[in-house]
Homo-oligomer: A and B are copies of this chain.
């Protein structure tokens, strides 16, 4: 992307980043850009309350203005969406390096890339590289899910370098602090971990406060039990102590804490289905009802909220998830993992889940958590991160198109124009992954003249339908001219 045909531009006082793609026909296209590093230092902007608190009081923050420029909307519209809780702007006051962005059904669909090491593999450097790589290809947020050694340092490096909001699941670090034994967890350990992460600049936190003691037995007859790490940790704690979840019981205190930093809740779906067989079951929806209840509590503290969703869901059961989430959770942003529409393709779960992700985003999900080809099999490497991001950019963009977003349609139109006019370089430059598109074309036709040729190796010169189509057009124009000359009354 360092090519002269691309440039990163910064718009207005707030220096909102965009990627400008200059085409060979003299026009240019501006695309949303997440690649960083940021030119803004939000610490100078000053935000006394949460974005939700400000929006409710009628105040348009700099963050809202920034989002408005990025999304091509009015600042007032952004404010209204945030005030209604339909959108969130995850922006911890201690993460000034991040470029404000909005997550909400009336904005461009966003995608999240999970990074972070496990005890088995990876280093701090690798994880920071994955973050940079993910945002280069278009990740709108990253979650640091590290569970191995150096959780604090890994997170520090990621946050300080990240131009996008960073999310975490604080229970992972809390569990490390108590030696990996869920029953040894306590509210105090958890609270201290949360404070540590809020201080550090985490923008949103996944909290599995909906996994209540009474719901644990609902998972007993499931085919694949509890597949969320946080969910299984909390279920183990509830069962070991035979007590209500400390996250649920201390939820008000958490709200007060998050409000001080404007950290956004991502209320976790600890009981999401881990197989097609378990989709939309009672355990899942019981938890969702509780998340709806907690949403109201958080909103009372002016804390921003989004709700996490499944998981593994067959296509015909996807829409129900969105409809129920809207109804139960006051239409706050839905943030889903996939869903995977079948279980039978480990190694290709970016695709099984990309199908579900595109559909659920069209139905109204605001942010999609990517799934990489390594899902269920191992920790993703750099290439897997890229594949996951590109697949999810496709899903998100397909949903934007289906929702009628004008900017989304303009992008497709620009690429299709380039394709039909055999402006190969423009076609590559406008694609989600110019490197791959160019490399695939080079594989059979590497020579420079092929980049303006009126065919490619797929059909060959005699069978290029687009070339023939141009000839048909020329033929039609000629007939039309002939018709005019002859003064005839009908054409064809």
Contact = CB atoms under 8 A, between A and B. Distances in A.
Interface stretch (A48-56, A187-195, A325-333, A456-464): A456-464
A148 interface: yes
Contacts of A443: 374, 378, 381
A216 interface: yes
Given A420-B223, A458-B378, A398 B120 contact: no
Given A119-B461, A427-B346, A466-B225, A445 B239 contact: no
Contacts of A437: 346-347, 377
B344 A432 contact: yes
Interface stretch (A82-90, A153-161, A296-304, A349-357): A349-357
A452 interface: no
A469 B227 contact: yes
Contacts of A57: none
Interface string A72-99: 0000000000000000000000000000
Interface in A126-154: 147-148
A341 B402 contact: yes
Nearest to A427: B346
A428 interface: yes
Contacts of A342: 394, 397-398, 401, 412
Interface stretch (A10-18, A245-253, A470-478): A470-478
Given A239-B479, A436-B348, A437-B346, A417 B223 contact: yes
A379 B445 CA distance: 10
B458 A377 contact: yes
A377 to B, nearest CB: 4
Interface in A413-446: 413, 415-417, 419-420, 427-428, 430-433, 436-437, 439-441, 443-445
A276 interface: yes
A411 interface: yes
Interface stretch (A100-108, A199-207, A228-236, A255-263): A228-236
A350 B433 CA distance: 14
Contacts of A228: 465
A213 B492 contact: yes
A484 B235 CA distance: 22
B172 A344 contact: no
Nearest to A169: B463
Contacts of A223: 413, 416-417, 420
Contact of A409 (B217, B274, B276, B430): B276
Contact of A476 (B217, B417, B444): B217
A7 interface: no
B225 A473 contact: yes
B378 A462 contact: no
B347 A378 contact: no
A375 B458 CA distance: 7
A468 interface: yes
A314 interface: yes
A115 interface: no
A316 interface: yes
Contacts of A66: none
Nearest to A226: B469
A207 to B, nearest CB: 16
B402 A275 contact: no
